[in-house]
Structure 1
Amino acid sequence: MSKVIVAGVGMIPFVKPGASKPYPEMAAAALGVALADAGLDYAAIRQAYVGYVYGDSTAGQRALYATGMTGIPVFNVNNNCSTGSSALFLARQAVESGAVDCALALGFEQMNPGALGAMFNDRPSPFEPFDTVTDRLVGHGEIPLALRYFGGAGLAHMQQYGTPLETFAKIRAKASRHAANNPMSLFRQVVTAEDVLASPVMWPGVMTRLMACPPTCGAAAAILCSADFAARHGLDATVRIRAQAMTTDTPLTFEAGDMREVVGFSMAKSAAAEVYAAAGIGPEDIDVVELHDCFAHNELITYEAIGLCPPGGAQKFVDDGDNTYGGRYVTNPSGGLLSKGHPLGATGLAQCTELVQQLRGQADRRQVEGARIALQHNLGLGGACVVTLYEKH
């Protein structure tokens, strides 16, 4: 099994729907940045895994052909919001197994304004069992489903541990402070917890508008290779993927009667445990984290799922500032999905880009000093969760 080097990363600034270029142009731009970062020609890529959620079959080929038509295998990947990391998982697997010595993971999304919706209404939805459980546990059919899923998970935490709404507002405010230093972020204006609480109410007592990430368009890419390939081509081998795990739902998702399970708490917990075991480390060894904060509520429950704090400890974790600079872990130095935006297919690879830059010491004003171990968490309902551990060596 080969060590897997992250030789190049790249992304473009995320923008609001309607303000982006068409997806082939966005994808080509992000790929160009990653190739330049690696110092490679596209001809060096031996396999490509291309992720997107809203697009027709073989859109991956359409996106790549603008850069090159080299005849290599191109695999189209769709795993909801974890699509980018699912493409990364497959590229890593191809290199680690020795199937190829250089592979590409590319993700993009050209989104429409408003809440996410189904594209194929003439057949069973993959979310039917999730919706059934959500209707039973939280109701509120007048609220968009994504808000009910993650708001319901936050509500479950509030009900069990007495977590105040202000805690979620503090998470959103922290995201804005981080995003102010990220030129790739869609929203760079700093907001306070009071601002977040004063924003329009989406679910009384549970969520305001600023606690939800915006639909966004964008693209990101990562080039992975073996250590031997990196040595032969004189590539930067500073960052490698030390461990990675992908999990999907178990019966607990629907049987636990807990909205935190519906949105992937145990998927995240299991994936993180696999990664820690494979790497021979614990969460206490992590320096910087990019996690899936599609809603402030999901960031909070993920702290507990991946072991950054004990169950029920998230409010104290936030109040003590252990989720930001000067605390135990810097979480989402990029500003996260809440501020950077969430183009579904690109999100996981944008997280990868941020963490690679952190470990190389290239994160400018966002830099986490002395960062050597980085953890990435990317969740897609339906469901899949990918957790990746990066190491500077």
Structure 2
Amino acid sequence: MYLHLIEEDNTTRYPAMDQMTDNPFHLWEDHSKGSSTLTLASGILSDEQFNIILLFIIYTSQLINNCAIIANSLIIAVYVKLGFSEPSNISLTALAICDFTLAVLFTWNNLGIWLTYHNVRLPFHGANVSFLTGGAQSAFLSTTIAWITAFISFERCLCILVPLKVRRLITSRVTFVAMLIIVLLTFCPSFFIYIRYKFIWVFNPYLNVTILNTTSLNNEFAILFGKIYILICGVIQPLLAFSIVLICTVLLVVQLRKISSWKLSVTSAQSQRVQPEENPAGSLSAAEARVSQKEERLVRMVVAIATIFIMSYIPICIGLLCDVLIDRFNPYGVYSRIYIVSGYIVSLGQPISGSVNILIYYKMASKFRSAFRRLVRLDRQE
């Protein structure tokens, strides 16, 4: 779901699913009166339509999350078995760890909403607390995944363009440090959200108990910080990473076609006893032509990973643009329920991408395939 902060008439509102009036967890909080508010505009969809659609999406999301958790657990186990002597193993493992963590965070967020919808009595508000401890972090972790994918794509571009130099520049240590820097700059800032949002204890008159809920600060610094924070971490960073992945993927596809044309022309020239320099792809540099078959397979695998990432991230980019350009397209505007439903739908792309990666590795990476088969006992040889 999109991470969105709304301030209106000195009232703080929270992204959460619609609550019925007889819901014991339906808390109304108005900061102007010393309390807090949890509310949601009715939007276009009716109560019944909204609840049915959202629950269906949540159940579907959880099925995909379960697949992502299993798939990425296997990916991590395989790469641990293979070792980290190759830089690509480090970056692909980091990607799998992030995909695994993202699926866990989505699971926790779905669980909180499910518990709230079914009026399960808890010492905390399930939807609000799970959003602040899971849903919000998942938005930033998606950016981390985007930047790791951008690094992998950029590194493969260098391997194609300057293969002799890149091996000395991008070592295992450099890749490990790069992964740490990406996590520090993209995911760790998610904890700054607690400067803007706080946990509070609120009395629930339906249960006659005090439960844990969330609220936000309304001072000028907090509001300004929240706007700058979301602009940088929620819009600029993911769109920039997406642009890098898109550009690098296009370059990789172009270079792969050049290399394939060069190899085809050389083979044809040799069969006709003609000098290779006479081939029509002579514009290809010698460095580009010296890409080994192993490197070429790895590049093709990265192109497949990046392509799936691009397909899964395009809806998120469209959602971010609609969030900025369309008035009242937010959790509390005229299109509130459409906003929430579409937010959950586009968020499905990330766990789907994380689930499919294992199929790409298995099909296109021979070492991964061999290690995977030994891990799940498909091959008896050690």
Higher strand share: 1
- The TM-score, its normalising length taken from structure 2, stands at 0.25
Q: Which has the higher helix share?
A: 2
